[in-house]
Amino acid sequence: MSTDPDTIAFYQKRAPYWVFHSGTHCSHQLDRFLDRLPPASRVLELGCGGGRDAARIRERGFSIDATDAVPALVSRANEAFALDARVMAFHELDAADAYGGVWAHASMLHCPTAALPDVLLRIHRALMPGGWHFASFKLGTGEGRDLLGRLHNFPSPRWLTQTYEAANFLIESQETYAGQASDGTQRDWIDLIVRKP
């Protein structure tokens, strides 16, 4: 299973606050990612949260399939943007050759480490040949919980890139940068853009 009950419960309880305070700006990588996709591609979002990135994807002319494992966040995203978002956890992805892109901003960092290789294989299968995938992770030395009790996989860059390569992805771009987490701690992040051959 690629969901942690305590992490799901955290977001379920705090969804109204979380969505209200998450801001109105999309990820700085989103437009650069979308520029790589053929026009009008179908895009899957894993972990849509309050729906702001999904709304931007739709605004750019793409077909968006917005998903999140947290029912309260799906409800909020649909209330705010009428996205027709649906509840789906990472391990429930069961599509094949269906998407031109899979967007996962600050969501797959909650996937348990042991489950991540299978999730990446599912994403690979869900993408059409030549399809693109974006994900961001908080870096570290192994799985643990932040000060808010949420599970993170906290991978090293080497382990992460090796795991993507083992799932037959080509790593096209990686960017590491310092960031502040929502629990107030400072931690390096990594953004990966990969492609299915």
Question: pLDDT truncated to tens, each residue of the chain (197 aa)?
Answer: 568 999 999 999 988 776 544 445 567 899 999 999 999 999 999 999 999 999 999 999 999 999 999 999 999 999 999 999 999 999 999 999 999 999 999 999 999 999 999 999 999 999 999 999 999 999 999 999 999 999 999 999 999 999 999 999 999 999 999 987 777 788 999 999 999 99
Q: Which residues pair with 45 in a beta bridge?
A: 66, 103
Torsion of CA 177, 178, 182, 186, to 10 degrees: 150
Q: Kindly report the pTM of this predicted structure.
A: 0.94
pLDDT of residue 27: 79
Q: Which amino acid is at 80?
A: A
pLDDT of residue 84: 97
Name which of 188, 183, 139 is nearest 10 in CA terms. Answer: 183
pLDDT of residue 83: 97
| Domains of the chain, earliest start first | 5-13+43-195 (3.40.50.150)
Q: What does the H/E/C string look like for the chain?
A: CCCCHHHHHHHHHHHHHHHHHCCCCCCCCHHHHHCCCCCCCEEEEECCCCCHHHHHHHHCCCEEEEEECCHHHHHHHHHHHCCCCEECCHHHCCCCCCEEEEEECCCHHHCCHHHHHHHHHHHHHHEEEEEEEEEEEECCCCCEECCCCCEECCCCHHHHHHHHHHCCCEEEEEEEEEEECCCCCEEEEEEEEEECC
pLDDT of residue 21: 46
